[in-house]
Amino acid sequence: MSAVIKTTEELVIPILTKKNLELVDIEYVKEGPNLFLRVYIDKPGGIDITECGEVSELLSEELDRVDPIKDAYFLEVSSPGVERPLKTKQDFANNIGKNVLIKLYSPIDGEKEFEGILKDFNNEIAVVSYKVKTRTKEIEIPFDKIAKARLAVAF
């Protein structure tokens, strides 16, 4: 974890705890000539723009005080959106029954990507029901083989 992300996490957690909000993710990325520090927050039922603005103001003050980023950057505080990343075991447990997209470090049954319904998660294994043409299959995916996962909008 980069020092900027670690410092930002240490600064934002107390702010979010006071507001009963959850930290979903932090990104520190360069896009073109610009640097962006993105903080994704949420709560049950979703988050609104007012809450994002309040967290942004408070976090901005803390970042100015600590000054972990010497270059100019843009701070963005927002909802993770409908395709929210699933990073922790708790994220998986909280999203059983929802459509997910899971990408793996190494293939299982010749595939490195599965999209389907998260049927179960028992702390180490995600069970996903997915379709292959007209057949429905189930796959057990060990948590430590998951490179990236997110909720996926089903059409």
Q: In this predicted model, what pLDDT tens digit does every residue of 48-58 receive, in sequence order?
A: 999 999 999 99
Residue 16 contacts residue 41 (beta carbons within 8 Å) = yes
Mean pLDDT of 9-30: 96
Residue 154 has pLDDT above 90, yes or no: no
pTM for the complete prediction?
Answer: 0.78
Mean pLDDT of 43-65: 95
- What are the domain boundaries of the chain? 3-78, 89-151
In the CATH scheme, what is the code of domain 3-78?
3.30.300.70
Q: Per the CATH hierarchy, to which homologous superfamily does domain 89-151 belong?
A: Ribosome maturation factor RimP, C-terminal domain (2.30.30.180)
